[in-house]
Structure 1
Amino acid sequence: MKLAAAVAALTMGALAMADASATQTSQQAYEAMPDTTGTGPYPAVKRTDPGLPEHVLYQPADLSRLGRKKLGVLVWGNGACSDDGASVRFHLAEIASHGYLVIAPGRVLTGPGAPPRPRPQTPPPPGPLGIKTTTAQVAAGIDWALAENARQGSPFFGRIDPRLVAVSGHSCGGLQALEIAADPRVHAVIVHNSGVFKDGTNPIRGITIDKAALRRLHTPVLYIMGGPSDIAWPNGTDDFDRIDTVPAMLASLDVGHGGTFQDTNGGRVTPVDVAWLEWQLRGDEAAARWFRGADCRLCTDPAWTVRKKRID
C-alpha cells in the first residue's frame, strides 16, 4: 500500500512538472510572437507615452482615420495585478482597433519591446499573494485620458467621448475593475475570470474589496468565466447570484482560468468584449444581439453557457 501511494505521488508530481513545463513553453511562444494590429477598422498600435510613463497604451495607429468618430476609453486591470502592461497585448490591441484607447498599468515586460529578463527555473514558493499594481493606478488611466482630451496640443484633444468610458480586467485585475466600477464616469464593466472572495477569505495583499462592492455597481456588468475548472468560478458565480440592482450577464467558455488571451487577436473571448462595449457605450443594436433575447448569439452558441438578469 505504501509503495502504491509513493508511485501515485511520484506520478502526480511528474504530471504537475510536465504541466508547468508546457505552460512555460506556451508562454515563451506567446512572448516571441509579434504584436498584432487587430481586425477592426482602425489598425492598432501598442505604445507608451511620456505623460503616463507607468502605463501601456493601445490605440488606433492613425487617429485621423477616425474622422468624426470619438474614441472610447477602456482601462484594464492586469491578471495577478501584475505590472506587465503587455500581458494580454493581443486582446487589448483587438479592442483598440474598434475605436478605443485602451490603457493598462505597468510597462512592456513581455513580447516586443520588453527588456531581457532572467527566467526562473523553479516556481516561487507558496505564500501570501501580493500585487504590483494598484486599483488607483488602473483608474489613473481614466484621469489621464480625459485630461488629454481637454488638453490643446494632445493627439487626443477633442477625440475622446467622456461618456464612453469602460473598465475591465482579468483575475486579480477583475477585482480592480469591480472597485473602479463605482466611479460615475464608468459606463460599462467587464470582469474576466474573477469574482469577489467571500468576506474574510481574500488571500491577496493590497486588495480590500468585499461583496458590498457589488451593491455599488451602477451599470450593467458582464462576467466572462472559464467554466467550472476556472479557479475563480466559485467567486464569479457567487457574484452573479448576489447582483440584484443592475443588469448582469455571466457568459462562460470552458477554457479554464487563463481565458483565450494568447490566441490570435485575443481568441474567442475578445469579440464578446467588443460587442459588449459597442452595445453598452455606443448603443449598437447589432452588438446587442450578442446578448439580448432567448436566441442571442451567445445563447445559441453551444460552446458558451449563459446566465442573464435584466438583460432582455
Structure 2
Amino acid sequence: MKAISYIFLCLMLLSVPSFAQTVESRVIEKGGAGQHSAIMLKDASLPTHTIFRPSNIDKFTGKKSLPLIVWGNGACFDSPWEHVNFLNEIASQGYMVIATGVIPKETGEQVKERSTSAKLRAAIDWAVAQNANKDSGYFKKIDTKNIAVAGMSCGGLQALEVADDPRIKTLVVANSGIFIDAVRGNAMPMMPQLVKDDLKKIHTPTLYLLGGPSDIAYKNGMDDVEKINHVPVFVGNLDVGHGGTYAQPFGGDFAKVATEWFNWQLKGDKKAKTFFTGNPPGISNMQGWSFAKKNMH
C-alpha cells in the first residue's frame, strides 16, 4: 500500500510544472515576528503540499540559503490548517518550511483527508530538485545540506517513520511518541504502525516537544526519550496539553523553542546551542518549561 501511494504521488508530481510557480498565497499574522516577513503559498509544481517561506528570497543564496524543514500535521491531516501560525513564524526566522497537504482555505474549513509519510520524503525530493533547477525561482536558494523532518501527534509518527532518510540532519517530534502498547485495529487512518525498535533508525540529534502530563502523548514520548541512547536527545515539556501552542499568536512558546533548535542544528548558531546545552540551559528561563537531555554536550 505504501509503495502504491508513493508511486501515485510521484505520478501526480510529474503531471505539473517542474519549476516553481506560485498560484496562491496568503500572509499570516502580518508575516510573522521574525526579521524575514513570511508568506504561505501553493506552488503549481507541488500542489500536494503547503509552503511557508520568507516573501523575499532574493538574498537567500549560497551560504545564506534557506535551511529546509518538512512538517507532518496532527492527525495526519492532509493540510496544515492547525499549524499555520507556528509554521509561518518559523519561516519568518529564515527557513523554507514545507508542510504535507493542501493550502488551508482562507474561509477556515477544516481539511480532514489524511496523508502518508511518503509526502515528507516527496517534499525533500521536490526541494532538492528545485534547488538544482536553473529554471526554478528556488535555484541555489534552499540549503539541502541542512534539512529537518518534524511533525505533531500523528505527524510526529510520520516524521519518525522517515527518520532513517540520510538527507536529514535533525528530527523534531512534537506531542507524539511511539505507542508503548502497539495500536493496530483501532489505529487512526494513515497512522504509521511503529514499534519502539524503530527508534534505532534515528541517526540525528532529536528534539521532543511535549505538552506535559496532560498531553495524551506524554507517556509515549517520554518513553521514547528514555529508550533513545545512541543520538543526542532533548525533551521539553510545557503543561498545555496535547494541543500545544501552535494556534497561539506567532505559534507561542512551541515556536520559540523549535526555532532555537533549528537555529542550532541547521544554522550552527552558538547562542541557540546554549538554549539546550548551557548550565543551566536557556530554556530554563522560560516560564513553565521543564526539560531533560541525554548525550548532549
Task: Specify which of 23, 46, 50 is matched with residue 44 of structure 2.
Answer: 50
Maintained 8 Å contact 1:86/1:107? no
Letter in 2 for 1:262: A
Letter in 1 for 2:203: H
Q: Is 1:296 paired with 2:289?
A: no
Q: 2:80 maps to which residue?
A: 85
- Give the distance between the partners of 1:62 and 1:227, measured in 2 at CA: 37
Q: How does 1:241-256 map to 2 (within 5 A)?
A: 241-256=226-241
Maintained 8 Å contact 1:199/1:211? no
Q: 1:29 maps to which residue?
A: none
Give, in angstroms, the shift of residue 209 of structure 1: 1.8
Q: Is 1:41 paired with 2:35?
A: yes
Q: Which has the larger radius of gyration?
A: 1
Q: Is 1:97 paired with 2:92?
A: yes
- Give the distance between the partners of 1:225 and 1:263, measured in 2 at CA: 16
Q: 1:263 maps to which residue?
A: 248
Q: 2:114 maps to which residue?
A: 132
Unpaired runs of at least 5, structure 1: 1-33, 119-129
SS in 1 for 2:253: helix
Maintained 8 Å contact 1:72/1:160? yes
User: How large is the RMSD of aligned CA atoms in angstroms?
Assistant: 2.0
TM-score using structure 1 length: 0.81
Letter in 2 for 1:102: V
Letter in 1 for 2:247: Q
Q: Deviations over 1:137-160 (max 9, x none)?
A: 122110001100001111110111
Task: Specify which of 275, 288, 292 is matched with residue 307 of structure 1.
Answer: 292
Q: 2:104 maps to which residue?
A: 109
Give, in angstroms, the shift of residue 311 of structure 1: 1.4
Give, in angstroms, the shift of residue 208 of structure 1: 2.0
Q: 1:149 maps to which residue?
A: 131
Q: 2:217 maps to which residue?
A: 232
- Give the distance between the partners of 1:90 and 1:43, measured in 2 at CA: 13
The ranges of structure 1 where at least 4 consecutive aligned residues each deviate by more than 2 angstroms after the TM superposition are 65-68, 198-206, 299-302
- Give the distance between the partners of 2:92 and 2:220, measured in 1 at CA: 31
Moved more, 201-210 or 189-198: 201-210
Maintained 8 Å contact 2:68/2:95? yes
Q: Is 1:281 paired with 2:266?
A: yes
Give, in angstroms, the shift of residue 205 of structure 1: 4.0
Unpaired runs of at least 5, structure 2: 1-26
Give, in angstroms, the shift of residue 38 of structure 1: 1.5
Maintained 8 Å contact 1:80/1:131? no
Q: Deviations over 1:273-308 (max 9, x none)?
A: 111011111211011111003311113434111111
Q: Deviations over 1:21-54 (max 9, x none)?
A: xxxxxxxxxxxxx722112221100000010111
TM-score using structure 2 length: 0.85
Size of the aligned set, in residue pairs, is 267
Q: 2:3 maps to which residue?
A: none
- Give the distance between the partners of 2:286 and 2:56, measured in 1 at CA: 35
Moved more, 302-311 or 186-195: 302-311
